[in-house]
Structure 1
Amino acid sequence: MIPFKLTEELITDIENFIETKNNSALLSLLEDIHYADIAEIINELNEDEATYIIKLLNSDKTSDILTELDDDVRESILGNLSAKEIAKELDELDTDDAADIVGELPKEMVQQVISKLEDREHAKDIVDLLRFDENSAGGLMAKELVKVNENWNVLTCVKEMRVQAENVTRVHSIYVVDDEGKLKGRLSLKDLLTTSTKTHIKDVYISKVDHVNVNEKPEEVARIMSKYDLEAIPVIDEIGRLVGRITIDDIVDVIREEAEKDYQMAAGISKDVEADDSIWELTKARWPWLLIGMMGGLGAASIISGFQEALTKFPVLLIFIPLMQATAGNVGVQSSAIVVQGLANDTIKGAIWGRLGKELLLGLVNGLALAFVFLIISHFGFKTTYLESIAIGIALVTVVVNAAVIGTFIPIFLNKRGIDPAIATGPFITTSNDVLGILIYFSIAKVFLGF
């Protein structure tokens, strides 16, 4: 299969076909292109052109295309469709995707769209999903699944499974419930095929099954599915009834979104934004950390101003201020990044003191290695005196150890307080270590050089 490549020529051809209303050529061009690739094409078109394609193609394809579009593009297209046209798209989607789209509609439009859905059971499931917080397992799950009653025999089970499977795109697991709909376990396909048709399901099902509650956070669902290599996981309500399942494709989206959010937070962006957002939205996202960074710089400048007399007497100290700030910032970000990753993967356990002790030792080793290199370079490259080199070298070791400990402690502390530890990486750690690094630098230099 040749990978799809979006080119200017392709976009131009599509725009020309739309302008001339050459539907046959447009349909022929898009016929063998995957719906995700068509979504990529539509993201590059204007609103009218995008809507034209959605109305031209069949709903079994456009429904999937809608789920792959950028949020703002999908919103503009839905705004150009009638309630009946939107309902036609939703009838083709799994309940989780359909509920996501309905949740983006204006409130006055929701009821109109729901009333136009042909499959009333499908409509009921969508409405049921809308009551869950989108940031929960309930808001992430789909209603489509295959479940069997523990009191059925194998023959009845197979018949019921055939009916249920018609509405399920992919059967990952067969779940077993009791008469009240409570999750009891899962059924092995091998056991089902090799067992007598008269055998009851309760005699062959596997009672151990990983599951999550409807109120579980998506990040925790992702952790469980990743840890146990699950393609799907059942979701139960507060009293243990099976109400849906979450599949791996939804979890991939959660992992990607979480990674993007953490990356932005590490870069000093306080909210989820994209490059195409307005200047105002981008400014609001960046401004808080820019302000914190500026305050940190002013704090460092204030400390330096208190040692002006010392800088006059020992001007060499001024040369190595950037060294202290850069090293402290780098070490702090490295330490915090490793800790944040460990917290996200749930690999950091036990008392905080053990982790701090290990990071302190690591910082000491790295600091001594850096100081050794510095002593050689400073003596031969900058002609510093023996006492100046020793003072700056010891300051460098202390700054590295301090930065490593702070970079470890702050993410763990924030995590224990229920705050996303990703906020500790980037500008937060860099700024705090810059200020403390300067303070440590001049304090140690004062002790050794006597100013």
Structure 2
Amino acid sequence: MTPFKLTDELLDQIQLLIEAGKDSDLQESMQEYHYADIAEITNELDTEQATYLIKLLDSEKTSDVLTELDEDVREAILNQLTPKEIAEEIAELDSDDAADILGELPADQVQGVISNIEDKEHVKDIVELLRYDEDSAGGLMAKELVKVNENWTVLTCVKEMREQAKNVTRVHSIYVVDDEEILKGRLSLKDLLTTSTRTDIKDVYIPKVDYVRVNEKPEEVAKIMSKYDLEAIPVVDEIGRLVGRITIDDIVDVIREEADKDYQMAAGISQDVEADDSIWELTRARLPWLILGLIGGLGAAAIMGGFEEMITKHAVLFYFSPLIAAMAGNVGVQSSAIVVQGLANDDLKGSISDRLWKEMLLALFNGLILAVILLLFTWFWKGSFETALAISISLVVVIIVAGLVGTFTPLFLDRRGIDPAIATGPFITTSNDIFGILIYFTIARWILGI
């Protein structure tokens, strides 16, 4: 299969068909595209053209297109649709996707849409999902699943599964519950096919089943599903009743969003933005960290000002101050990145003291190697062993301190419930720059006797 690629020629062709009102040609051309490809096309159209396309195509396809659109594009399109038209789209979606879209609409508009959905069971499921915090397993799950009662026979089970499967896009697992809807286990399709039709389900189901509770954080759900290679995981309420399931496609979205957020935070962007956002939104996201960097630079300049006399006598110290600051920042970011990654993957073992001790030894080893190279270079260049020694010793200490700060900071933030990814950005770089400059000139003054 050749990957879809949106070209200017294709986009121009679609826009011409829309402007000319050639509906049959447009519908025919869209038949060959996956809904994700149509969403990519729609994202590039203006609001009027995008709305025209959504209204023209069958809701069975455009409902999925809506879930793939950029949020601002989807919002603009939904504002052009009537509650009845939105209801037609919502009716074709699984409950989790339907709840996500309805959650973006104003409350009065939600009521109008819900009143136009004919399937009342679907409405009930959507309304239930809307009650959950979107940043929870409950807000992530779908109500569509296949479940059987432990007291049913295999024959009854098969009949019920056929009926339930009509509303499920893909059957990942068969869950077993008791008369109170408490999750008891899961049912193997192989066991179901090879067991007598008169056998009770409670005699063949597998009692061991991984699950999450409705208030679990999406990140924790992602860790569990990743660890056990699950395509889907059941969700239970506070008393263990089966209320839904989360599928791998939803978790991929969570992982991608979390990765995007951490990447932006590491780059010094304080909120979720995209390249196409307005200048004002991009400024609000970037400016706070740039101000922090400015303050850090002013702090470093002030520290250097306190050593003006020493710098005057030993100008070579000034030449190496950018190197010291850069090494401090780089080592700090390296250390914090490893810790943040370990926290995210839940594979960071041992106590904080053990982690700090290991980081100190690693920093010492790396620092000594770099210091020897710097010592030889500076001694050969300037001919002063004492000055070269002062700079080299400063480098070792700066690297050790930067490594400890880069390790401790994300661990401390994580213990306080703050996203540790903040420690991989300008925060850690700026703080280590300041520490590095202060340590550098303090040690140099001590060794050079100024």
Structure 1 residue aligned with 2:95: 95
Name the structure 2 match of 1:374: 374
Distance 1:386 1:291, change over 3 A: same
Counterpart of 1:3 in structure 2: which amino acid?
A: P
Residues 269 and 286 in structure 1, CA contact (< 8 A), matched pair in contact too: yes
CA deviation string 1:285-344 (max 9, x = no partner): 112211111111111111000010001111010000000011110010011001000000
**Alignment partner of 1:234 is 2:234:** yes
For residues 350-373 of structure 1, what are the alpha-carbon distances to aligned partners after superposition, in whole Å with 9 as ceiling and x for unaligned? Answer: 210111111111101110111111
Q: In the alignment, is the contact (CA less than 8 A) between 1:316 and 1:384 conserved in 2?
A: no
Report the secondary structure of 2:148's partner residue.
strand
Partner of 1:318: 318
Report the 3-state secondary structure (helix = DSSP H, G, I; strand = E; otherwise coil) of the residue aligned with 2:332.
Answer: helix
- Structure 2 Cα separation of the partners of residues 439 and 99 of structure 1: 54
Count of aligned pairs: 450
Matched letter for residue 259 of structure 2: A
Amino acid at match of 2:240: G
Worse-matched range after superposition: 289-298 or 96-105:
289-298
Deviation of 1:376 after TM superposition, in Å, equals 2.2
Q: Does 1:190 align with 2:190?
A: yes
Aligned-partner Cα distance in 2 for 1:378–1:12: 62
For residues 31 and 200 of structure 2, the distance between their equivalents in structure 1, rounded to whole angstroms, comes to 47
Query: Does structure 1 residue 331 correspond to structure 2 residue 309?
Result: no
* Counterpart for residue 396 of structure 2: 397
The yes-or-no answer on 1:272 pairing with 2:272 is yes
1:257 paired residue number: 257
The corresponding residue for 1:445 is 444
Counterpart code for 1:2: T
- After the TM superposition, which residues 123-134 of structure 1 pair with which residues of structure 2 at under 5 Å, given as runs? 123-134=123-134
1:151 aligns to what SS in structure 2? coil
* Inter-partner Cα distance in structure 1 for 2:279 and 2:237: 43
* Pair 1:406-2:410 in alignment: no
CA distance in 2, matches of 1:268, 1:161: 51
Letter paired with 2:174? I
In structure 2, C-alpha distance between the alignment counterparts of 1:376 and 1:393, rounded to whole Å: 9
In the other structure, the counterpart of 1:152 is: 152
In the alignment, the residues of structure 2 paired with residue 416 and residue 236 of structure 1 have an alpha-carbon distance, to the nearest angstrom, of 27
Partner AA of 1:412 in structure 2:
L
What is aligned with 1:307? 307
- Is 2:408 the partner of 1:416? no
Matches within 5 A, 1:278-297: 278-297=278-297
Q: What does the per-residue CA deviation read over 1:162-213, in whole Å, with 9 as the maximum and x for residues that have no partner?
A: 0000000000000000000010000011111111111111111111100000
Give the residue type in structure 2 aligned to 1:390.
Answer: L
CA distance in 2, matches of 1:378, 1:386: 8
Task: Tell me how far apart the structure 1 counterparts of residues 438 and 301 of structure 2 sit (CA, whole Å).
Answer: 10
How does the TM-score come out when normalised to structure 2?
Answer: 0.99
**Aligned-residue offset at 1:384:** 4.2
Q: Distance in 1 between matches of 2:69 and 2:383?
A: 61
How many Å separate the matches in 1 of 2:311 and 2:282?
A: 40
8 Å Cα contact 1:187/1:206 also seen in 2: yes
Q: How far off is 1:278 after superposition?
A: 1.8
Deviations 1:203-238 (A, max 9, x none): 111111000000000000000000000000000001
Counterpart in the other structure of 2:18: 18
Which residue does the alignment assign to 1:104?
Answer: 104
2:429 aligns to what? Answer: 430
Q: Percent identity?
A: 71
| Residue correspondence of structure 1 range 77-92 to structure 2 within 5 A | 77-92=77-92
Distance 2:70 2:432 in 1: 39
Q: CA deviation at 1:379?
A: 2.4
Aligned to 2:73: 73
The 3-state SS of whatever aligns with 1:196 is coil
Displacement after TM superposition at 1:377 (Å):
2.0
> Are 1:186 and 1:205, in contact at CA under 8 Å, matched by a contact in 2?
yes
In the alignment, structure 2 segments of 5+ residues that lack a partner are: none
Q: What is the distance in 2 between the residues matched to 1:374 and 1:130? A: 61
**8 Å contact kept, 1:266–1:427:** yes
Deviations 1:68-119 (A, max 9, x none): 0000000000000010110000111000000000001111100010010011
Give secondary structure in 2 for the equivalent of 1:246.
Answer: strand
Structure 1: segments with no counterpart, 5+ residues: none
The aligned counterpart of 1:342 is: 342
Name the CA distance, whole Å, in 2 between partners of 1:21 and 1:311: 75
Q: C-alpha displacement at 1:273, in angstroms?
A: 1.2
Secondary structure at 2:103 match in 1:
helix
- Please tell me the residue identity of whatever aligns with 1:29: S
Mapped partners of 1:224, 1:119: distance in 2: 34
Cα distance, 1:384–1:15 mapped onto 2, change above 3 Å: farther
CA distance in 2, matches of 1:357, 1:29: 64
Whether contact under 8 Å (1:175, 1:185) holds in the other structure is: yes
Secondary structure of 2:207's aligned partner: coil
Answering whether residue 48 of structure 2 is matched by residue 51 of structure 1, we say no
Aligned residue type for 2:142: A
The CA distance in 2 between the partners of 1:6 and 1:369, in whole Å, is 51
SS at match of 1:142: coil
